[in-house]
């Protein structure tokens, strides 16, 4: 009805964005794909060891700047380590932590949201109040405290980020489950004696995949930014591992001499997170009703 | 309305109670702050003394109840580092953070409202695409990196602005822009979506049909109805804002709560960490409550939910 009404208004009727729908997703997948392939093939792309120091070659600029050499295409850091190989190996950390955290928080949040939405009652009360409490704690702060107490390694980082970000899944899945619960196919499954677990995972979950995918793609970027932030604060994967955030933190001391060691890992973060966000936005557009 | 307020008022302290449990468990059960704080060469007497001072020689439930009753009275114990009441230390650092967050927040809100409205009104045109593109990139920029790059360009290269300090308005510019860059894209996208949801409603078409000018339609019919999700989101973003402030403060050596908390965490100054977290959580809970309340006032439907 609303759509019909709009067509009666000739002024500025919304044009269908069909042509752009696919391109966002495709661009994101291409850029992220390139980053994944490059980081997976890192040992073949660069001959330098990402943690090998060469004190004679400290703070070299990238090849296009004055004084750059082709031996170090993106220059070197304050210890004379090759920026390109640190960048490529660092991508592995960023991607592993990002994907791991999204997977874990997705499972956690989805299960809690499903249970709260389907069972209701005191379980709903407990889970939803927990998520309220979670929202009263800034994720960065919670992550800082947990990492400081338990120590930092890739597994801990994944757990920390997952614990600080399951709420968004739980909230959305809860809201959808409450609606789905009343549909006939759920009642039918219940009537023929299906167990709760069967209804949750075989009947409700398949109807929620679209939402879960969209949130996951949008969350992946946030997770990578959080990981970079923790590394920057010295709470990420410990040195000398080449995490992008800690590359930036190291380079901070030298920004008065040369901006490159700080600029390059930051750009890598921007491009990677941007490509992941494009995928999320692309998925969201696909799942939006057409018209 | 009264019932709505009462229900929200009951839920708020519950959140704070849970936060206090979580913080207490993480900080007190998982490690002994005394050994970390005093280091390995501390004498047993000194350790015992500090343990008694912090109440660590008692059972955990007793410790928690003591902690909780302290929280209620605003007593978190003495800061190990400053040797002053922890709450006082936190309050001293709260001002700079609130001022920075407020400036960044208002900046982000103005940008978000302007760009989001422009994109929604000109949906599908190049304006919409440019705004969308900028938001996508803005969402991907780590604030600590942006801060450093702003310092490189405007302080190191151009000498226009100071790198740190907070004496004058010029000192606020770079940190506030850094903070706003991180929030503005989120506001922009939300404003755009909320407006688009309303812009196709029948009453907007009706308003147009009866010949109202576009500006009036936008302000009276569209904005007022698009407001609830925006208000709710603004309330919820306070946590993210404070989180962003933590990182931004580190880059600009801003003497605020974020910097204090990070230092206190790494030095295991438990009373300060606890006080900081509870104060921040209280701020977030209150702002969420205020957002709910504002929404209920703007939109009568919410009151009867």
Look at B113 and B266; give whichever has higher pLDDT. B113
Residue B295's DSSP bridge partners are: none
- Chain A partners of B143 at a C-beta cutoff of 8 Å? 229
Q: Which chain B residue has the Cα nearest residue A129?
A: B15
- Chain B partners of A21 at a C-beta cutoff of 8 Å? none
pLDDT score of B113 more than 80: yes
Length of chain A: 291
B200-227 tens-digit pLDDT: 777 778 887 887 777 777 777 777 777 7
Which three-class secondary structure string do you get for chain B? CHHHHHHHHHHHHHHHHHHHHHHHHHHHHCCCHHHHHHCCCCCHHHHHHHHHHHCCCCCHHHHHHHHHHHHHHCCCCECCCCCCEHHHHHHHHHHHHHHHHHHHHHHHHHHHHHHHHHHHHCCCCHHHHHHHHHHHHHHHCCHHHHHHHHHHHHHHHCCCCCCCCCCCHHHHHHHHHHHHHHHHHHHHHHHHHHHHHHHCCHHHHHHHHCCCCHHHHHHHHHHHHHHHHHHHHHHHHHHHHHHHHHHHHHHHCCCCHHHHHHHHHHCCCHHHHHHHHHHHHHHHHHHHHHHHHHHHHHCHHHHCC
Q: Answer yes or no: do B280 and A137 touch at CB < 8 A.
A: yes
Burial class (CB in 10 A: 0-12, 13-18, 19+), B82: middle
- Chain B partners of A272 at a C-beta cutoff of 8 Å? 140
Asked if B253 and A151 touch (Cβ cutoff 8 Å), the reply is no
Q: How far is A100 from chain B (nearest CA, A)?
A: 19
Position A1 confidence tier, pLDDT thresholds 50, 70, 90: very low
What whole-number distance in Å separates Cα of residue A181 and Cα of residue A179?
A: 6
Best residue in A137, A167, A282 for a mutation probing chain B (most B CBs within 10 Å): A137
Q: Answer yes or no: do A273 and B140 touch at CB < 8 A.
A: yes
Q: Answer yes or no: do B273 and A145 touch at CB < 8 A.
A: yes
What whole-number distance in Å separates Cα of residue A261 and Cα of residue A250?
A: 8
Q: Which residues, other chains included, contact A9 with Cβ-Cβ below 8 Å and sequence gap of 6+?
A: B205, B208
Helix axes A209-232, A167-180, angle to 10 degrees: 170
Asked if B268 and B54 touch (Cβ cutoff 8 Å), the reply is no
A137-186 tens-digit pLDDT: 877 788 888 887 777 788 888 988 898 888 889 888 888 888 888 888 88
Look at A87 and B243; give whichever has higher pLDDT. A87
Tokens describing residue A122: 């005191």
* Closest Cβ opposite residue A14 in set B30, B123, B202: B123
Best residue in A61, A131, A141 for a mutation probing chain B (most B CBs within 10 Å): A141
pLDDT at A108: 94
**B254 phi, psi to nearest 5 deg:** -80, 125
Task: Note whether ipTM > 0.90 here.
Answer: no
What whole-number distance in Å separates Cα of residue B78 and Cα of residue B88?
A: 9
Output the pTM of the full model: 0.82
* Closest Cβ opposite residue B19 in set A2, A20, A136: A136
Q: Answer yes or no: do B277 and A278 touch at CB < 8 A.
A: no
Q: Answer yes or no: do B144 and A248 touch at CB < 8 A.
A: yes
DSSP one-letter code for A137: S
Q: Answer yes or no: do B239 and A132 touch at CB < 8 A.
A: no
How many CB atoms lie under 10 A from the CB of residue B221?
20
* Closest Cβ opposite residue A137 in set B14, B19, B148: B19
Q: Answer yes or no: do A273 and B139 touch at CB < 8 A.
A: yes
CA distances to A7, A111, A211, B288 from A174, rounded to whole Å, are: 36, 9, 12, 20
Position A109 confidence tier, pLDDT thresholds 50, 70, 90: very high
């Amino acid at each position: 009805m609303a759509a019909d009404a709009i067509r009666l208004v000739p002024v500025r009727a919304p044009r269908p964005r069909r042509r752009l729908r696919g391109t966002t997703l495709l661009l994101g997948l291409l850029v992220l794909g390139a980053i994944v392939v490059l980081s997976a093939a890192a040992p073949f792309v660069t001959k330098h060891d990402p943690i090998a120091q060469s004190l004679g070659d400290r703070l070299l600029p990238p090849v296009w700047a004055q004084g750059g050499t082709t031996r170090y295409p993106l220059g070197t850091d304050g210890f004379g380590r090759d920026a390109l190989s640190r960048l490529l190996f660092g991508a592995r950390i960023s991607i592993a932590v990002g994907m791991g955290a999204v997977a874990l928080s997705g499972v956690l949040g989805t299960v809690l949201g499903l249970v709260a939405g389907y069972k209701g009652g005191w379980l709903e009360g407990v889970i939803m109040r927990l998520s309220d409490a979670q929202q009263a704690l800034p994720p960065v702060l919670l992550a800082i405290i947990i990492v400081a107490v338990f120590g930092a390694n890739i597994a801990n980082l994944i757990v920390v980020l997952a614990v600080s970000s399951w709420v968004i899944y739980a909230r959305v899945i809860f809201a959808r489950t409450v609606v789905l619960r009343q549909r006939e196919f759920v009642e039918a499954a219940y009537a023929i004696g299906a167990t709760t677990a069967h209804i949750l995972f075989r009947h409700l979950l398949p109807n929620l995949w679209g939402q879960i995918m969209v949130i996951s793609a949008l969350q992946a970027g946030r997770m990578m930014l959080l990981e970079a932030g923790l590394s920057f604060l010295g709470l990420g994967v410990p040195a000398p591992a080449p995490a992008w955030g800690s590359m930036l933190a190291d380079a901070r001391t030298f920004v008065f001499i040369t901006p490159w060691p700080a600029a390059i890992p930051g750009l890598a973060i921007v491009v990677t997170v941007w490509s992941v966000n494009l995928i999320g936005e692309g998925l969201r557009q696909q799942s939006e009703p057409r018209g | 309305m009264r019932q709505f307020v009462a229900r929200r008022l009951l839920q708020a302290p519950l959140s704070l109670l849970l936060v206090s449990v979580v913080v207490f468990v993480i900080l007190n059960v998982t490690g002994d702050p005394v050994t970390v704080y005093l280091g390995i060469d501390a004498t047993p007497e000194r350790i015992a003394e500090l343990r008694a001072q912090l109440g660590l020689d008692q059972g955990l439930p007793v410790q928690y109840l003591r902690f909780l009753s302290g929280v209620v009275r605003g007593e978190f114990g003495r800061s190990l580092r400053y040797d002053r009441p922890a709450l006082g230390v936190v309050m001293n650092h709260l001002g700079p953070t609130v001022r920075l967050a407020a400036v960044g927040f208002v900046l982000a809100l103005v940008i978000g409202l302007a760009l989001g409205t422009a994109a929604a009104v000109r949906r599908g045109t190049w304006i919409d695409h440019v705004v969308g593109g900028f938001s996508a990139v803005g969402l991907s920029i780590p604030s600590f990196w942006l801060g450093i790059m702003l310092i490189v360009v405007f302080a190191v290269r151009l000498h226009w602005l100071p790198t740190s300090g907070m004496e004058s308005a010029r000192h606020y510019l770079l940190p506030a822009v850094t903070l706003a860059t991180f929030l503005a894209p989120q506001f922009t996208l939300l404003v755009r979506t909320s407006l688009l949801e309303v812009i196709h409603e029948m009453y907007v078409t009706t308003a147009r049909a009866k010949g109202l000018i576009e500006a009036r339609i936008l302000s009276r019919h569209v904005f007022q109805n698009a407001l609830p999700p925006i208000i709710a989101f603004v309330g919820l973003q306070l946590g993210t804002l404070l989180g962003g402030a933590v990182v931004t403060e580190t880059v600009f050596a801003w003497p605020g709560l974020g910097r204090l908390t990070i230092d206190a965490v790494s030095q295991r100054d438990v009373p300060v960490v606890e006080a900081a977290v509870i104060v921040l959580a209280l701020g977030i809970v209150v702002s969420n409550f205020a957002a709910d309340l504002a929404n209920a006032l703007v939109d009568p439907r919410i009151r009867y939910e």
